[in-house]
Amino acid sequence: MMTHHTLPQPDTEASRHSARLAELIRNEILAHGPIPFSRYMELCLYAPGLGYYSAGARKFGAEGDFVTSPELGSVFAIAVADAVTPVLSQLGPDAVFFELGGGSGAFAEAALRRFAERDALPGSYALLEPSADLRERQQARLQQLPEALYRRVRWLDGPLQHDWHGVLFANEVIDALPTPRFVIRAGEVHEEHVALDDDARLTSTSRVADALLSAAVRHLERALGRPFGEGYRSEVLPQLPYWIQAVAGGLRRGAMLFVDYGYPRSEFYLPERDQGTLVCHYRHRAHGDPFFLPGLQDVTAFVDFTALAEAGVGAGFDFSGYCSQASFLIGNGLAGQLTAMQTLSEADHYQRALEVKRLTLPGEMGERFQAIGFERDVDFSPAFALGDLSHRL
């Protein structure tokens, strides 16, 4: 992983933007003392008008900092639509498809077209997008859809609190939840904080963890059957069960599907992974310095899929299945898409083949990204029939 010394430098306007956010963070530290790393991450990503996801910088695609599966093309969205179509059929014409995030709107566009092809359009397609800039881009893109599709789309300001039935979908959302980081000092759980050094630069420090974080770390040690060693540093989301309950809102019948990069718990907290999983993305380069250009880079942590499974079941849902992204796509109609590719032009066939490779090859997104599902009074388990990995949770 490269150091920030080898990363490309931003232009003057972007540098000023980052400096404004850094000043906001410094002022909070000066006013209240060192802040938890989770608070620092929250400001970096979501500070109004300045955070990475709340400001207007381009994030996705060749011009941005990373590429998500839906931005590669339509293959991913078509497979997800095919996977959830049986659930929507069980729920009837008033079902809601609820997408958290939404990126550029590429997923929504391809999924709506596929639902229409399958005669499985949900009653409404709801998008919860915290970024005003991305919401505008989604609206501009989806307005190009046929009117019969676009009129089903609505943007939300928060989760659906009233009773609803449908499918909740989140791709690369949990990795961007502001996460506490812990470190073991003399056998005691400490929480990583962000402070200022003598030159007013951002730096890491640690303080004794509160009861919630300490209990979460001790729970991990009991589950793993071993204590963490001295100096072991990693991430944990004790708030994940509450987050799942919040985003599901009033979901009374339906399914939830999460796709993200991560590991089952036994691999997430390997002894040799003693500096955690935090990773930053800047202009398609990954590095480990969260203090580099605040507001201009993505700051994420891998997902503990065992914790996600526990949180989903704890929220009152049944576990549907867990598999790699490659297995999920292959098990949900990828072969049919490959067959349909034969009718494409040579150039389009080549691009689609590259897309499939990136989505499925182990060295690309195929194994590093995984899918996990939950259900309530529907059967979502067939979507995970191929390559089941639930024994690893």
Average pLDDT over residues 287-294: 92
Query: pLDDT tens digits for 16-32?
Result: 999 999 999 999 999 99
Per-residue pLDDT reduced to its tens digit, 118-157: 999 999 999 998 888 889 999 999 999 999 999 999 999 9
DSSP secondary structure of 254-295: EEEEEEEEEE-HHHHT-TT-TB-S-EEEETTEEES-TTSSTT
For 325-358, the pLDDT digits (tens) are: 999 999 999 988 888 888 888 888 888 889 989 9
pLDDT for 82 equals 97
Specify whether the CB–CB gap between 256 and 248 falls below 8 A.
Answer: yes
pLDDT confidence bin for 56, thresholds 50/70/90: low
pLDDT in tens, 159-171: 999 999 999 999 9
Q: Residue 164: what pLDDT?
A: 98
Using the structure block, give the residue that is written with the tokens 């990136």.
Answer: 358
Region 62-78: mean pLDDT is 76
Residue 392 lies in a domain: no
| Domain presence at residue 225 | yes
Examine the pLDDT at 286 and tell me if it is beyond 90.
no
pLDDT for the residue numbered 283: 79
What pLDDT score was predicted for residue 3?
47
In a domain, 4, yes or no: no
Q: What is the mean predicted confidence (pLDDT) over 27-44?
A: 97
Domain total of the chain: 1
**Token pair for 79:** 């497979």
**Would residue 165 count as lying in a domain?**
yes
Separation CA 302–CA 262 (nearest Å): 5
Which CATH number do you get for residue 285?
3.40.50.12710
**Is 230 inside any structural domain?**
yes
Q: What is the mean pLDDT of the chain?
A: 92
Q: Determine contact, residues 243/177, Cβ cutoff 8 Å.
A: yes
Q: What is the pLDDT of residue 130?
A: 81
Inside any domain, residue 1: no
Distance CA 121, CA 153 (A): 11
391 assigned to some structural domain: no
pLDDT of 275 higher than 80:
yes
Residue 393 within a domain = no
Provide the domain limits for residue 306: 12-384
> What is the pLDDT at residue 66?
53
On the question of pLDDT at 60 being above 80, the answer is no
